[in-house]
Amino acid sequence: MESGRITISRAARQADFPAHFQLIAAMNPCPCGYYGHTSVACRCSPDVRLRYQSRVSGPLLDRIDIQMEVASVDPEVLAAPSAGESSAVIAARVQVAADRQFQRQGKRNQYLSPREIDHYCRLDRPSKCKLKESMQSFKWSGRAYHRILRVARTIADLAGAANIQLVHIEEAIQYRRVMSE
């Protein structure tokens, strides 16, 4: 997943192909689908929920940059007119951030190697302390460390910030915290 390549081996031969992709996945929090729902009671025991959630392996989850719980939304809220930004405004901000990434490092943040992340994602002391504290508290891996930095760099780019600030690290950490924690 991380190399952006796939190797197929058949009959003593190998073929190597590009395989860059964006994985977007969703799952219910439990088999019945109602854990955490505001108006429907979950029928699953904690053990059943844990067993269900552990079907997705830790190493796979470790390779997913953004993991978040999405609460159920009331139907009236869904039917109401949106008060948020338009897609065009968001797309323009994303393009400005992508341009900033190309100017700084010649590629998008998603393609930065761990060494490049260490170079382009430098942190001030409060940000380093917050990240170190979270890494220890949640027992995250070195891979998670680099993924958090990459996400924080992207958040900073979207905000128009030249450097990663504590608020960007805190937001990136929130995108790493999943329901079972």
**Residue 160 DSSP class:** T
Q: For residue 178, what pLDDT is reported? A: 65
User: Is the pLDDT reported for residue 180 higher than 80?
Assistant: no
* DSSP one-letter code for 111: G
181 pLDDT band, cuts 50/70/90, is very low
Q: What is the mean pLDDT of the chain?
A: 92
The sign of the torsion formed by the CA atoms of 22, 66, 163, 95 equals positive
Per-residue pLDDT tens digits for 129-159: 999 999 999 999 999 999 999 999 999 999 9
Contact of 153 with 164, CB cutoff 8 Å: yes
The H or E element spanning position 6 is: strand 5-10
Locate the domains of the chain by residue range.
5-79, 87-175
Amino acid at position 114, single letter: P
Quick: pLDDT tens for 13-63.
999 999 888 889 999 999 999 998 888 999 999 999 999 999 999 889 889
pLDDT at res. 83: 82
